[in-house]
Amino acid sequence: MTADPTWRGIALDAATALALLDWQREMGVDEPIADAPLDRYAEATPAPRAPVAPAPAAAAAPVAPQDGADLPAVAAALAARAASLPDLAAAMERFDGLDIRKGARSFVFADGNPAARVMIVGDPPDEDEDRAGRPFAGRAGAMLDRMLAAVGLARDAVDAERSVYLTTALPWRTPGGRLPTEPETLAMRPFLERHVELASPDLLVVMGNVACQSVLGRSGVLRMRGTWAAAFGRPVMPMAHPCYLLGNAAAKRDAWADLLEIAARL
């Protein structure tokens, strides 16, 4: 080493060398010399390629009923062949009898614990549910979660005694969030009935007018709430939808009374 070493033209006296080391340390350098020499000109050994997973099987072709077909009958035939909840979800996605599916972002099937004693059926997906791909999302979903927690229930509970299972009357958001027509509701009712059969809850809670129409065959949830009805071979409690409660604080007292009635029934 010469008496006056330089680095890129800088005289490397002791103070300068120490300053350079401090600067490199501040920049994150923590290993000035590697343990072994590295030949950067040698050809790199290619890394072993991971095995290529087989391509997934193509989805089953949609079932498009012919013009003039009895849509509820077609839906009932598809639903009857579903032996499990995944089978039912696949059959519903294949059902191409309603134009509303073409404008929806997501197919909304269910959420929560399928083994739950309580199954909640809500109105068709709104914008939040369509975006999330699950029922009771957004502000309305957050309110429902708080309501359920007040009586010891939760959608994410593992214990069937304390969990709930959630679905919607129709799995697709209607264009612009309009009310579904009666033919649209009737076309999807066989799927909803089969959904209840496969989940086999002890009781149903129907939230909203469309849900009441789909399950009970009549609307007017604010008149029916608080009184037990029956459908699909199970007791049914009609309740106001959380979306309605968000804008009508006075209705929350009735909703609390309905929740207490459900808890007592359980």
Dump pLDDT digits (tens) for 156-185: 999 999 999 999 999 999 999 999 999 999
Share above pLDDT 70 across residues of the chain, in percent, rounded to a whole number = 74
Q: Parse the chain into domains and list their residue ranges.
A: 85-265
| Cβ atoms 125, 118 nearer than 8 A | no
| Higher per-residue confidence, 18 vs 23 | 18
Rounded Cα gap, residues 221 and 260, in angstroms? 18
Q: What is the CATH number of domain 85-265?
A: 3.40.470.10
Phi, psi dihedrals of residue 205, rounded to the nearest 5°: -120, 120
pLDDT at 229: 98
Asked which of 3-7, 151-155, 239-243 is least confident by mean pLDDT, the reply is: 3-7
Other residues' Cβ atoms within 10 Å of the Cβ of residue 165: 25
| Cβ atoms 202, 115 nearer than 8 A | no
Read off the pTM.
0.76
Q: Which residue has the tokens 């509303």?
A: 100
Angle between helices 209-216 and 182-199 (to 10 degrees): 70
Mean pLDDT of the chain: 85
For the segment 38-59, what is each residue's pLDDT rounded down to a tens digit? 555 554 444 443 333 333 333 4
Confidence of residue 192 (pLDDT cuts 50, 70, 90): very high
| Cβ atoms 163, 145 nearer than 8 A | no
Mean pLDDT of 92-114: 95
For the segment 223-255, what is each residue's pLDDT rounded down to a tens digit? 999 999 999 999 999 999 999 999 999 999 999
